[in-house]
Structure 1
């Protein structure tokens, strides 16, 4: 009990190896997507949210949304990591390639759990790697601007009928921006840009 209390007071452990960085990318991408889905569903359904959670069709819709959007969450978190890696002196091509490999590995963590089917999952993995490798061709974006390229896809795949989503796009977009900024701040507390660059650019098995 005392050890747990001390760990809580110390906060998250520093990220010192690729395994820790992979865990950060995997878990934060999942959180980013899950929080967006559940917060929006709760806001849209109001007092009926608890009852809605007990309905199997809604639970299935949430699961579909979660797995469909997980690669999108990885793209956002990956691009956020890339921005900090570049601050650590890494070349854009090396940073993008390393981040893409870590994001692909994060998808592999859930290959047996996802409910989209192996072909759809494999296709999403290929798209994710391509998306992240291509960011080397442009300057790194401010973290708060990264979701601007992804939010429409997130909004389109919410487990709420599109007829009930009118006028809500800004809410989803702003939640993504604020949550990703909070994750970036956490990452900066747990490592340095230079250390992150060394971890990301360490040679790893090719992805594809």
Structure 2
């Protein structure tokens, strides 16, 4: 009775790798979109409707979102590796390979506009190196994770640098906030030990 009631209040955490992959894909998109669009809306202020109706702005906005998304997939994948590694025992290389495959599938399945595919392909090819580099250091939490999405975000924001002087810390802070939220959602929604077991079993099939 108590177990049933507990599960109704807080459902058991997931252990399915397909669901976990879908979560990482969704969060990468959320991180990129939320960070970019929220900032642009604040900057547009009373002119939001006109700004978001301008074709040139929309093209630049889409470019920023895709560039940031490509890197954000890597960031949430590395975040997942850091969270799962303590449960992998001596099989961290197998964990990295499984997560690299998940990230690669996410990036390969995306449907970017013309001109953005190259960036996503480069991010996909770089995933093994990104995860290998992460595994050279102890696992870190989201508040200390090095974010590769930061550089393309700042480089491609469709707001002229002259109009965002002194605002870089707040932009970085927003990006960091959404990555931290991703870790919190990950912890609430999934069982890390069970996920590692599922990934191990899948690699042996």
Tell me if TM exceeds 0.5. Answer: yes
Q: 1:116 to 1:140 in 2, by over 3 A?
A: farther
Paired residue for 2:92?
92
Q: How does 1:18-167 map to 2 (within 5 A)?
A: 18-90=17-89, 91-110=91-110, 112-148=111-147, 150-167=149-166
Paired residue for 2:169?
170
**Gaps in structure 2 of 5+ consecutive residues:** 1-7
- Rounded to whole Å, the distance in 1 between the matches of 2:134 and 2:204 is 19
SS of equivalent residue, structure 2 residue 144: helix
Q: Which moved more, 1:93-102 or 1:145-154?
A: 145-154
Provide runs of 4+ in structure 1 moved above 4 Å.
Answer: 9-14, 147-150
State the number of aligned residues.
Answer: 196
Root-mean-square deviation (CA, aligned residues, Å) is 2.5
Paired residue for 1:198?
197
TM-score normalised by length of structure 2: 0.83
SS of equivalent residue, structure 2 residue 50: helix
**Gaps in structure 1 of 5+ consecutive residues:** 1-8
- Rounded to whole Å, the distance in 2 between the matches of 1:154 and 1:204 is 38
Q: 1:59 to 1:177 in 2, by over 3 A?
A: same
SS of equivalent residue, structure 2 residue 138: coil
Q: 1:167 to 1:74 in 2, by over 3 A?
A: same
SS of equivalent residue, structure 1 residue 62: helix
Residues 125-162 of structure 1: CA distance to partner in whole angstroms, max 9, x if unpaired? 21234222332222112211114554233222212122
- Rounded to whole Å, the distance in 2 between the matches of 1:123 and 1:186 is 28
Shift of 1:204: 8.7
* Conserved 8 A contact 1:147-1:177: no
TM-score normalised by length of structure 1: 0.82
Q: Which moved more, 1:88-97 or 1:29-38?
A: 88-97
Q: 1:107 to 1:163 in 2, by over 3 A?
A: same
SS of equivalent residue, structure 2 residue 165: coil
